């Protein structure tokens, strides 16, 4: 009898993989949904009297966001019918509100998509630095509370300041610096705390080349980040092994060479 004669029938066939089952979330079961559904109208009624002196005027966008959130994931507020062309199975997918920050479900999806866009499309494959958070002094925060347009001005001032600093460090006054500056307006206790988190290129670009900051400024810097996935590690000038890598292909596509 052959060695394989006693094998169970079909043992050599690939095992069927279980098919994932879509389970819709239950938005009405969340504490945040119940809180807003039961108390938001009364909160809006007394806001001007009780909260406006400390937290600023009532903004129309607040009611709009809450209304969208209370309709998010609810089938009666609209849905799409999803059907498999193979097995003919179908289900209903409720529309989402797509709100940033306020809706935990939609914000998580937007954040994941935004992070992927940063890594794969926006950021050049060169080292970046996570700059220390820039915050607005407490005495000045009320001005931004009542005039949100000033937040954009702070972002532009921070970008100009960092660009000037890196140009002075490298000695290249025409250097173009890559900066991503998300502006957050709340602290860990949901208090009014406008501040900037900045992701900045380690150096900058000039004449289609990436120029790094001097090696002395790089050593021991706790805010120097790891290069994006798929990028080659860029070493200090003159370091051993500073050859090409996977990131060079992306730089070549941008018409940029390493300094």
Contact indicator for 183, 153 with CB cutoff of 8 Å: no
In this prediction, the residues of the chain whose per-residue pLDDT falls under 70 are 1-20, 22, 208-259
For residue 18, what pLDDT is reported?
55
**In which residue are the tokens 């002075």 written?**
168
For residue 154, what pLDDT is reported?
92
Contact indicator for 134, 196 with CB cutoff of 8 Å: yes
Helix 31-50 to helix 60-71 angle (10° resolution) is 160
For residue 6, what pLDDT is reported?
47
For residue 16, what pLDDT is reported?
54
**Nearest alpha-carbon partner for 184 in 142, 147, 151, 139:** 151
**In which residue are the tokens 């949100």 written?**
148
**In which residue are the tokens 């003159």 written?**
238
> Where do the domains of the chain lie?
27-104, 123-258
d(CA 187, CA 204) in angstroms, rounded, equals: 31
If DSSP codes are grouped into helix, strand and coil, which group holds residue 56? coil
* pLDDT per position as a tens digit, 70-82: 999 999 999 999 9
For residue 69, what pLDDT is reported?
95
d(CA 86, CA 84) in angstroms, rounded, equals: 5
For residue 23, what pLDDT is reported?
77
State the alpha helices, DSSP H only, in 137-230: 141-146, 150-170, 215-218
Residue 196 is inside which H or E element, if any? strand 192-201
For residue 211, what pLDDT is reported?
67
For residue 227, what pLDDT is reported?
41
């Amino acid at each position: 009898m052959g060695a394989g004669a006693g094998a169970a029938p079909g043992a050599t066939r690939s095992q069927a993989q279980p098919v994932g089952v879509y389970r819709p979330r239950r938005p009405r079961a969340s504490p945040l949904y119940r809180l807003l559904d039961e108390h938001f109208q009364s909160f809006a009624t007394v806001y001007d009297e009780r909260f406006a002196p400390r937290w600023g005027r009532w903004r129309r966008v607040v009611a709009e966001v809450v209304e969208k959130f209370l309709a998010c994931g609810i089938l009666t507020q609209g849905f799409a019918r999803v059907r498999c062309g193979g097995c003919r199975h179908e289900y209903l997918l409720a529309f989402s509100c797509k709100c940033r920050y306020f809706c935990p479900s939609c914000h998580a999806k937007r954040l994941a998509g935004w992070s992927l866009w940063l890594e794969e499309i926006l950021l050049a494959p060169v080292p970046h630095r996570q700059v220390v958070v820039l915050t607005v002094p407490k005495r000045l925060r009320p001005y931004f509370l009542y005039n949100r347009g000033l937040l954009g001005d702070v972002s532009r001032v921070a970008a100009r300041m960092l660009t000037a600093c890196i140009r002075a460090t490298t000695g290249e006054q025409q250097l173009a610096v890559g900066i991503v500056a998300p502006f957050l307006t709340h602290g860990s206790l949901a208090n009014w705390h406008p501040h900037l988190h900045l992701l900045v290129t380690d150096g900058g670009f000039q004449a289609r080349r990436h120029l790094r900051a001097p090696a002395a400024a790089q050593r021991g810097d706790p805010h120097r980040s790891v290069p994006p996935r798929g990028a080659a590690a860029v070493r200090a000038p003159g370091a051993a092994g500073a050859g090409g890598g996977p990131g060079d292909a992306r730089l070549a596509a941008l018409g940029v060479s390493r300094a």
